[in-house]
């Protein structure tokens, strides 16, 4: 974001801006006064989210939003975007994200996630835009030796191709800075994003059977599925179920805005954990969601899921001290907002 410090004149390209985290981030950016261009091929998202964004931010702010339906790997389409708009910075969300599917389709995952990133940074460089925020994941820490995880905790081998793509894209972006010190790279390592916009107009809308815990629990709550399958109750945790650092998607969206504001006029490569610092077990999530929806949600204990770690949670000191960002919401609010979204939109955007 080299050219200006004024948010009003700053145009941000958001790849994957129609997806779960992308759409919530777009709302925050528009509310902050940024101009936003979304590039999304809608392969795992719905165009209907654009109407919801408009409803939330209002007509004036919505005028600062442009949607381009394109694959980020399509360099001609990206070139056209950079020709038309004076893009100051990019937030790169677009990518395949289903862990299990990545094991079945490694070629598709490596070629899509890494290929689209390489296409993007090539086009960015050709247009003199060298500021990028990348949507990374706590998955790069693998099975941790010690908790909480700081940005200095070692990266560990990924357990699936999805995880490797996050791992490798971090390395690719770090290499850009080594080769050309004008690059400005921020790697945001998300812990487990859940929740929804408080309006109930936007939320997570996975296609097919959800892989992740929260959308599955929400679908049980709304009657689309019978019971939550708890993957293992024999972990070395207080109640035996897996522990994760769940973070409200609006906190995560604010984290992107904080990163963008911080990186303006800087260069280099910085890594930040975005989590809450608190670990929550699967059973605690089911209990919190039951309280949010007013009904005891049924669950069954299943064997462990391959590749799952026992526990992880973040140390977010760096984000607090450097970005001035800290998560605001707890598990009760995350479940409340997730339930509000799911109960108002039982079948997601297409419902």
Q: Could you tell me the smallest distance in angstroms from the CB atom of residue 331 to ligand UD1? A: 13
Q: Provide the mask over 212-231, with x wherever binding to ligand UD1 is found by CB under 6 A and - wherever it is not.
A: xx--x------------xxx
- Residue number, 31 or 308, with CB nearest to ligand UD1: 308
Among residues 34, 141, 162, 190, the one annotated as catalytic is 162
Residue of 280, 135, 282 lying closest to 212 (CA atoms) = 282
Restricted to residues 73-102, the positions that interact with ligand UD1 (CB under 6 A) are 99
CA distances from 132 to 120, 199, 233 (A): 10, 29, 40
- Residue number, 56 or 228, with CB nearest to ligand UD1: 228
Q: Which region, judged by CB under 6 A, interacts with ligand UD1, from 146-154, 209-217, 271-279, 313-321?
A: 209-217
Query: Residue 32, Cβ neighbours under 10 Å: how many?
Result: 17
Q: State phi, psi for 163 to the nearest 5 degrees.
A: -60, -40
Residue of 255, 240, 248, 235 lying closest to 319 (CA atoms) = 255
* Structure tokens given for 8: 């009003």
β-strand partners of 112? none
Size of the site for ligand UD1 (CB under 6 A): 18
CA distance 250 to 328: 9
Q: If DSSP codes are grouped into helix, strand and coil, which group holds residue 178?
A: helix
How big, in percent rounded to 5, are the helix, strand and coil portions of the chain?
45, 20, 40
Q: Give the CB-nearest residue to ligand UD1.
A: 242
Q: If DSSP codes are grouped into helix, strand and coil, which group holds residue 272?
A: strand
- When asked if residue 103 is in the footprint of ligand UD1 (CB under 6 A), the reply is no
Q: Could you tell me the smallest distance in angstroms from the CB atom of residue 223 to ligand UD1? A: 16
- When asked if residue 244 is in the footprint of ligand UD1 (CB under 6 A), the reply is yes
Restricted to residues 300-339, the positions that interact with ligand UD1 (CB under 6 A) are 305, 307-308
Query: Residue 223, Cβ neighbours under 10 Å: how many?
Result: 9
- When asked if residue 156 is in the footprint of ligand UD1 (CB under 6 A), the reply is no
Q: Which region, judged by CB under 6 A, interacts with ligand UD1, from 71-79, 115-123, 172-180, 207-215?
A: 207-215
Q: Is 162 among the catalytic positions?
A: yes
Sites of contact with ligand UD1 (CB under 6 A): 99, 137, 139, 163, 192, 211-213, 216, 229-231, 242, 244, 282, 305, 307-308
Active site residues per annotation = 162
């Amino acid at each position: 974001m080299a050219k200006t410090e004024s948010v009003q004149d700053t145009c941000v390209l958001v790849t994957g801006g129609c997806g779960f985290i992308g759409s919530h981030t777009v709302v925050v950016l528009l509310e902050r006064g940024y101009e936003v261009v979304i590039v999304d091929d809608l392969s795992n998202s719905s165009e209907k989210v654009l109407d919801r964004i408009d409803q939330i931010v209002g007509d004036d702010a919505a005028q600062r939003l442009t949607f381009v339906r394109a694959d980020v790997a399509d360099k001609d389409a990206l070139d056209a975007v950079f020709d038309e708009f004076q893009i100051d910075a990019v937030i790169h969300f677009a990518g395949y994200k289903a862990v299990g599917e990545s094991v079945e389709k490694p070629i598709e995952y490596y070629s899509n996630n890494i290929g689209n990133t390489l296409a993007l940074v090539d086009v960015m460089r050709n247009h003199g835009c060298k500021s990028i925020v990348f949507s990374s994941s706590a998955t790069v820490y693998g099975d941790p030796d010690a908790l909480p995880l700081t940005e200095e905790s070692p990266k560990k081998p990924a357990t699936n191709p999805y995880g490797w793509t996050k791992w490798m894209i971090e390395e690719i972006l770090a290499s850009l800075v080594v080769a050309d010190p004008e690059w400005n790279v921020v790697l945001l390592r998300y812990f487990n994003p859940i929740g929804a916009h408080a309006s109930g107009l936007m939320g997570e809308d996975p296609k097919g059977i959800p892989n992740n815990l929260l959308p599955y629990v929400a679908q049980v709550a709304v009657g689309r599925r019978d019971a939550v399958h708890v993957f293992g109750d024999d972990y070395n945790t207080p109640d035996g179920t897996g522990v994760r650092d769940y973070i409200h998607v609006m906190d995560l969206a604010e984290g992107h805005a904080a990163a963008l504001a911080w990186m303006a006029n800087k260069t280099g490569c910085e890594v930040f954990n975005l989590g809450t610092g608190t670990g929550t077990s699967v059973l605690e999530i089911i209990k919190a969601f039951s309280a949010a929806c007013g009904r005891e949600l049924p669950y069954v204990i299943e064997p462990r899921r391959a590749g799952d770690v026992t526990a992880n949670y973040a140390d977010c000191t760096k984000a607090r001290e450097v970005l001035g960002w800290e998560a605001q919401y707890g598990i009760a609010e995350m479940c409340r907002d997730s339930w509000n979204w799911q109960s108002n939109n039982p079948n997601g955007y297409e419902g």
